[in-house]
Amino acid sequence: MKIIVFSASPNTDGLTAACAQAALAGIQEAGCQGEHIRINDRSIGACSACNDGWGTCRPDHTCQVLDDFQATHTHTIEADAYVFITPVYWGDLSESMKAFTDRLRRCEATRGAESGLAGKPVLVVAAAGGSGNGTLTCLYSLERWIEHVRARKWDFIPVNRWNREYKLHTIQAAARAMACAAP
C-alpha cells in the first residue's frame, strides 16, 4: 500500500511539518509505504481557468498550464490513500494547497465515477498555529473537495498549538488505522 502525505507550509519545522511526521510514523507502523510531498517545494500555480473556463481539464482531464502539477497529478493517482495537511490561513487552506487541490479537482471531478481518487481514503488535517481559529471552516473546504473528487472521507483532524501534543498522537493513530484498513 502506497500512501502520500501532502503538506503545504513554507515552514519546515512548524506545526504542519510535525503533523506530517506523525502521519508518516503511523503509516510506517502499519507496514505501508509512506511518501511525503511538500507542495511548497514544487512549482504549482493557481488554476488559470483557461480558454472558456475549462481548458483541457474537462475534456482531457489534464491541465494545460505547464508546471510541476502534471507530474504530481500523475504520481497522486498512483497512490492508494492520502493524507492532506494544510496550515490554516484566513480560515481556509494555504494558498499552495488550494492551488494544488483546485487543479486536481478540475481534472478528476470531471471524470465522475472514473476519478483517479474515487473510493480512495483521505485523512485531512487543518493545522492552525497562530490564533488556533479557522480549523473547522478549513476542514469543511476539504470535505467538499473530497466529495467532488469522489474520494472516501477517512477522518478530519483540527490541530492547534494548544492541543498539539495529543493531536499528533491522534494523527499518527488515524494514519495507522487508515493504512491498515485501506485495500
Backbone angles phi, psi at 127, to 5 degrees: -110, 105
- Which of 154, 168, 182, 169 shows the shortest CA–CA distance to 15? 168
Tell me the β-bridge partners of 7: 38, 85
- Domain of 15 in residue numbering reads as 2-181
**CA angle, 24 then 67 then 54, to 5°:** 105
From edge to edge, which strands make up the β-sheet containing 2-7? 33-38, 2-7, 81-87, 121-128, 152-160
CA distance 26 to 125: 14
CATH code (residue 13): 3.40.50.360
| pTM exceeds 0.85, yes or no | yes
Q: Where is 154: in which H helix or E strand?
A: strand 152-160
Q: Which of 91, 99, 111, 107 is nearest to 6 (CA)?
A: 99
The cell numbers describing 60, all together, are 482531457
Provide the number of structural domains found in the chain.
Answer: 1
Question: pLDDT by residue for the chain (183 residues), tens digit each?
Answer: 999 999 999 999 999 999 999 999 999 999 999 999 999 999 999 999 999 888 999 999 999 999 999 999 999 999 999 999 999 999 999 999 999 999 999 999 999 999 999 999 999 999 998 888 999 999 999 999 999 999 999 999 999 999 999 999 999 999 999 999 966
